[in-house]
A and B are shown apart, each in its own frame.
Chain A
Amino acid sequence: MKPSDLLTRFPSVLMAWRNLGRNRVRTALATLGIVIGVVAIASLGIAGAAIQQQATTDLGSLTNEVTVTSGQDSDVDGVTDDQVARIERLLTDARVVPQKTNTTTIESREGEAFVTVTGLTEASALYNASAGEAPDRLQSGALLSAGTARELGLELGDPVEYEGRLYRIRGLIEAEGGFGGGGNELVIPPSGLADQQHYDSVTIVAADGEAATAIVDRLEAEFNDGEEEELSVTSFASAQENIDSFLNTLNLALLGIGSISLVVASVAILNVMLMSTIERRGEIGVLRAVGIRRGEILRMILTEAAFIGVIGGAVGALVSLGVGLVLFDAVAGDALLVVRWSSARYLVFGFAFAVVASVLSGLYPAWKAATDRPVEALRG
């Protein structure tokens, strides 16, 4: 079957295509309007997604962590073994990492550095090693911040001293993203801080931000009734929620701006379609006179509008994809992140919006042309 045969099966498509071809400049300009609208809506949407993606990465693992410290009404200064045991019994589905902290100065031939000393066992729950390892159970040796090690000229296997004991460096840890932490830190087995009776804090690693929030509620219920605060429980999950809702608002605002340009483009199509149906009034009168139905006229003109929408939408989506690749490359350093649904969906939305807006703008001119009385249209 030849393409022309296929088109005679869809006369509205054939006629619409030929009609658009009659005034190429006008068709091109109307299509360009849609392209710009789609690029605006899709690029701004993708920009929002890129910002959101970046903000989430920056907050990093902090959002699924809950930190427990001694409350203001507690009798002891710190979290007791007993309390840790209660927490562990309560939270069977999360990793509970009690830790003791202190500060010290470590020295090497190249200088000295002030560090936070953290005593804990489950190093792998809280740290990622950029060299060496962050073991599941830290029984001997130490982990040192990579930056500090560089500063002091220390390498894996070198010893560091704390309170008269020597620890071999087993892993270099990276600064965690987000707030605090990371800086200069020395991580050793809890035995090294055995002279501190209580834990300074307990970090609980939950599956995600939502689980962290639930854990906060359960701990509050268990330990703090009413005004009495036995343990202070904090998490970054609520901060994350605030940031998320801010970013969502930002996203909506960006999309709103994009939609306005698409509305403007639709008005341009409305104008173009109206002009072209008024110019073709006599011609449409002839069609009606020789027995073409109202619905068929309507379909023909809507198809013209849909063509502009589909072509403009497709070109716009392609351009936006390019914009997205550049944006993600600049913001997240990985251009291909743009194909993830959270940002790629704006390409689909932009395209769908373009087609819908175009067809809607075609409705009035199409209806007007289809219901025009042929006698009057023929008289001109």
Chain B
Amino acid sequence: MSVIVLESVTKRYESGAETVVALENVDFHADRGEMVSIIGPSGSGKSTMLNVIGLLDTPTGGTVRIDDRVVSDFSEAELTEERRSGIGFVFQDFHLLPMLTAVENVELPSMWDTSVDRRDRAVDLLHRVGLGDRLTHTPDELSGGQRQRVAIARALINEPDIVLADEPTGNLDRDTGATILDELTRFTTDEDVAVVSVTHDEQLVEYADRVVELIDGVVQE
């Protein structure tokens, strides 16, 4: 069963007299254990689509479903809860908190959840991305590739159903990017999550089980 489904989703930005259609009638779904790549030229709506999938943005038209629940009915608090428990994020420029150590950054999404102790899982995830010896380092003591691996561990801490990555290799050199993609692919099967990544880098496509191409907000068949 699909983790997330978009049905004829449309996103329009109105700014004064002008209207930008960022997404038009987009149908999409992602399943556990698969790696989906979204590609397309700059400005084609890839980030917008990922934000809609990640419940960070609400579409102007169409339906978003998570486990057969319609997201447009969700309150702000329910959206936050859903992001916390079901969705992991990896950003292009890592977005780690500079005053927290690697392991604290990984724990961050569950930090306010005092009922569970995620320390062991955070340490385990960092070992699995090859940073077992960097647990107490702060982000400025880590390389770009290491930072992104911390970010991947953070995305997985709450055992999500889906991990969203917007140009995860955009700030990394080719080889480092390749190792990051290897990690993501490995977790797709190991943790049985759906991974949806955006890129305009052809490289990512090699790793994908499925590729969705966007041009001017329209999915190309």
Give A residues with C-beta under 8 Å from B.
8-9, 11-12, 14-15, 18-19, 21-22, 282-283, 286-294, 296, 374-375, 378
Contact = CB atoms under 8 A, between A and B. Distances in A.
B98 interface: yes
A17 to B, nearest CB: 9
Given A283-B97, A291-B109, A375 B56 contact: yes
Contacts of B154: 290
B51 interface: yes
B56 A378 contact: yes
A72 B156 CA distance: 99
B80 A293 contact: yes
Contacts of A290: 83-84, 88-89, 108-109, 154
Contact of A21 (B91, B99, B108): B99
A18 B89 CA distance: 23
Contacts, number: 64
B17 interface: no
Q: Chain A interface mostly helix, strand, loop or mixed? A: helix
A12 B112 CA distance: 8
A280 B8 CA distance: 35
12 contacts: A11-B111, A15-B111, A18-B100, A283-B95, A289-B83, A290-B88, A291-B85, A292-B111, A292-B112, A294-B76, A374-B56, A375-B57
B53 to A, nearest CB: 12
A169 B214 CA distance: 115
Contact of A289 (B56, B99, B112): B56
B196 to A, nearest CB: 15
A289 B81 contact: no
Contacts of B88: 290
Given A11-B111, A11-B114, A21-B99, A291 B83 contact: yes
Nearest to B119: A8
B57 A287 contact: no
Given A18-B100, A22-B98, A287 B108 contact: yes
Given A18-B99, A286-B95, 12 more contacts: A11-B111, A15-B111, A19-B99, A21-B99, A22-B99, A288-B80, A290-B88, A291-B83, A292-B80, A375-B57, A378-B56, A378-B95
Interface centre among B77, B81, B109, B112 (most CB of A within 10 A): B112
Interface in B58-91: 76-77, 80-81, 83-85, 87-89, 91
Contacts of B80: 288, 291-294
B158 A291 contact: yes
A19 B97 CA distance: 10
B54 A289 contact: yes
B109 A292 contact: yes
Contacts of B83: 289-291
A22 B100 CA distance: 11
B51 A296 contact: no
A288 to B, nearest CB: 7
Interface in B148-181: 154, 158
A19 B95 CA distance: 15
Contacts of A374: 56
A19 B98 CA distance: 9
A12 B81 CA distance: 18
Contacts of A12: 112
Contact of A291 (B51, B81, B91, B114): B81
B71 to A, nearest CB: 15
B183 to A, nearest CB: 18
A286 B84 CA distance: 12
